[in-house]
Amino acid sequence: MSVSSSFKVRRIVRILKKKYGKIPWWPGDCDEVMIGAILTQQTRWENVRRALDELHRKDLCTLSAIRFADMTALEDAIRCTGFYRMKARRLKCLAVFVEVTCGGVERMAVMSTPALREGLLSVHGIGEETADSILCYGFSRPSFVIDAYTDRIMRCIGVTEPRNRLKPLFEGVLAETDEAYRQTHAHIVEYAKEFCIQKRCETCILVNSSG
C-alpha cells in the first residue's frame, strides 16, 4: 500500500475521533449482533432495530430459537428489513453453524480468530463484511469492517486502493485492538450518514480540514 494512503487514513481516523469521540455502537449480546449483522445487509439500521425488537417480542432473538423457528413466523418478524425470505434462510444457516457446527457461542468464543472467520465465511449468506462485523462487535476480535461507507469515504479523500485492500490498510494504521476497530468503523458510519449519503461528498471536512 502506498505511503500516501496510509497517511490519509491515519489523518481521517484522527479527525473523526476528534469530531465524534467515543460513541456507543451495537450494544446487545452476541446472538443479537450476529442476527443484526445478517439483517443489516443492504438495509438501514433503523429497520433492523425494529426487526430485532420484534424478534425479542416473539422470543426469537437467539440462534437456538431461530434454529427451530417456524419459517413464516421468522419471515414475518424481519419483513421490515427487506429481502426477508433470503435473510430468514440465512439466519437458519447461521443458526445451524453456531448451534450445530460449533456447538454454541461459548465454543466459538474460544476459537482462534482465523478459524472463526473462516467458519463464518463458509456459512451461506455471510460474506466478508458480515463476518468481520460479527468478529469485531460480537466476539471482540480485532478484524476491521469495510463497508460501502468506508469505500465511499476513501474515494472522497482520494485513496484509490481497491476495496479489497482497504482492510489491511486500516489494520496497518490502527492500534490492533478490537475497541479501536469498533470505534473507527462507528465513526466512519456516523460521518457517512451525516455527510456522504449521496455518491458525492460536497461538504467533506476530511478534504478541507487542516486536522
- Which spans of this chain sit near DNA (rule: CB under 7 A)? 25-26, 40-47, 79-80, 82-87, 123-131, 133, 137, 145, 147-149, 185, 189, 193, 197-199
Query: Minimum distance from CB of 97 to DNA (Å)?
Result: 12
Q: Which is nearer to DNA, 9 or 126 (CB)?
A: 126
CB 58 within 8 A of CB 77: yes
Query: Minimum distance from CB of 113 to DNA (Å)?
Result: 17
- Residues sharing a CB contact under 8 Å with residue 24, sequence separation 6 or more, in sequence order: none
CB 197 within 8 A of CB 3: no
Q: Which is nearer to DNA, 116 or 123 (CB)?
A: 123
Query: Minimum distance from CB of 91 to DNA (Å)?
Result: 12
Q: C-alpha grid cell for residue 1? A: 500500500
Residue 77 host element (H or E): helix 71-78
- Residues sharing a CB contact under 8 Å with residue 64, sequence separation 6 or more, in sequence order: 95, 99
CA 162 – CA 168 distance, rounded (Å): 11
Query: Minimum distance from CB of 82 to DNA (Å)?
Result: 3
Q: Which is nearer to DNA, 18 or 44 (CB)?
A: 44
Q: Which is nearer to DNA, 86 or 209 (CB)?
A: 86
Q: Which is nearer to DNA, 6 or 76 (CB)?
A: 76
CB 141 within 8 A of CB 120: no
* Distance set, CA 14 to CA 21, 48, 118, 209 (Å): 10, 29, 31, 11
Query: Minimum distance from CB of 210 to DNA (Å)?
Result: 28
Q: C-alpha grid cell for residue 149? A: 461507507
Query: DSSP code of 174?
Result: S
Query: Minimum distance from CB of 179 to DNA (Å)?
Result: 15
Q: Which is nearer to DNA, 22 or 193 (CB)?
A: 193
Query: DSSP code of 43?
Result: S
